[in-house]
Amino acid sequence: MVRLRPSCLFPFVVGFSIITLLCIYLPNKSIPLNVGNMSAFRTSILVSTRSVQLFQTKKNEEVVIAVVVCKNRTSEALVMIKSAIVFRGSSDLRIVVVAEKNIQQEFDETLRDWKLLTNDSFSYEIHSIIFPKEHYDEWEKLFQPCASERLFLPSVLNHLDSILYVDTDTLFLSNVDDVWKHFSLMNSSQLAAMVPEHEDMNVGWYNRFAKHPYYGKLGLNSGVMLMNLTRMREFDWISQLAPVLEKYRLDLTWGDQDIINVIFHYHPDKVYVYPCRYNYRSDHCMYMSNCKSAEEYGVAVLHGSRSTFRTKKQPAFRALFNAMSQYQLGSDPVKYLLETAASLLNKTTDTNCGRLAPIFTHNMRLMFKTV
């Protein structure tokens, strides 16, 4: 049996006596709280939690996003990468930059800073532009400087199995896994996934103007392209490029995209076509809304083709790009991204695309749980 010495009991007796006296003599009133301060405190906790959850390190399936960058597209590409980091969801994210050597340092420094800022929420690697010696000058200048490098990614990135290739002028507006999941929906023969170039035969480009073969009735847009590099290598993709260039070089208005269309015209079983919401362009809203999947599920990836991010042609597209450009990684995405985007979009409701503002922020609200 354990015995306590009287000296050990003394502090407990004194403490109990003080509490008893306070209960007897203090007025029967609750102590007022500064509700304003508490509200502000709760808000700061929510903001901090939201940012931490968004950028916490997770270990799940890896999503690999690749981009090719040349000349003055560095800033645009970095805004795209920022959007991928914001919308990485529960996936492990790897960013692959294929760029000219003179701009690689800027990518390295910026991405290194962003990794620290977001708790190592992604990894990255940087590679140099490589073209075959045969037709080197033509490949380098086809359509836009180094744009055709994407055609050679199965060789340049021979250590990777699959990638989601995106043009520099794209923005993720939904979980990156929303696009990546389509790899699991492809059959065993399909080696790439893209959206149709148009939804309406009346305004389609390929069906009205193309002088070369193209996929299906409306052709394909390759700005957001899932690429199973392993299957492309097995298909001997690289060896098929030069013959197409040589045969149709005077008719390739859209450069590398046209070459992709020619190849899939002759091999339609090799391509998987997913809905237009995964590569949403001004064509889908500038005259009338013609992308039903975006109307139903919101835009997943926004494509600012025809300079809509950098000019005043489509104010709604420019508004979304500016909102993402201004957003600081690590800050509250609701206050500093979603609310900013909604505010800027609200100023574009006099345009056809601007009137569809909810489809651009729908997945942001779901992602940040504000619905």
Distance CA 65, CA 198 (A): 24
Same domain, 190 and 293: no
Same domain, 243 and 162: yes
Distances (CA, A) of 356 to 152, 255, 299: 37, 31, 10
Q: What is the pLDDT of residues 222-268, one digit of tens each?
A: 999 999 999 999 999 999 999 999 999 999 999 999 999 999 999 99
Name residues whose C-beta falls within 8 Å of residue 252's C-beta, 6 or more positions apart in sequence: 142, 143, 212, 245, 258, 259
Assess whether pLDDT exceeds 50 at residue 304. yes
Q: Which domain holds residue 335?
A: 282-369
So what's the pLDDT on residue 369? 86
Give the residue carrying structure tokens 């064509």. 283
So what's the pLDDT on residue 44? 43
pTM: 0.84
Distance CA 368, CA 111 (A): 23
Please tell me what DSSP assigns to residue 280: B
Same domain, 256 and 137: yes
| Phi, psi (degrees; rounded to nearest 5) at 228 | -85, 95
| Burial of 238 from C-beta contacts in 10 A (0-12 / 13-18 / 19+) | middle
Residue 192 within a domain: yes
Hey, what are 226's tokens?
């899932």
Could you report how far apart the first and last alpha carbons of the chain are, in Å?
62
CA-closest candidate to residue 340, choices 86, 116, 119, 167: 86
So what's the pLDDT on residue 16? 46
CB-CB neighbours of 6 under 10 Å: 7
Q: Which of 43-52, 69-78, 166-175, 176-185 has the lowest mean pLDDT?
A: 43-52
In the chain, the number of structural domains is 2
Same domain, 255 and 335: no
The domain boundary residue, chosen from 260, 277, 294: 277
Same domain, 197 and 267: yes
Q: What is the CATH number of the domain that holds 241?
A: 3.90.550.10
Same domain, 119 and 262: yes
Same domain, 211 and 347: no
The domain boundary residue, chosen from 277, 309, 338: 277
At position 39, the amino acid (one-letter code) is S
Distance CA 135, CA 180 (A): 33
Distances (CA, A) of 56 to 118, 121, 209, 339: 7, 6, 49, 22
So what's the pLDDT on residue 328? 97
Please tell me what DSSP assigns to residue 211: S
The domain boundary residue, chosen from 227, 246, 277: 277
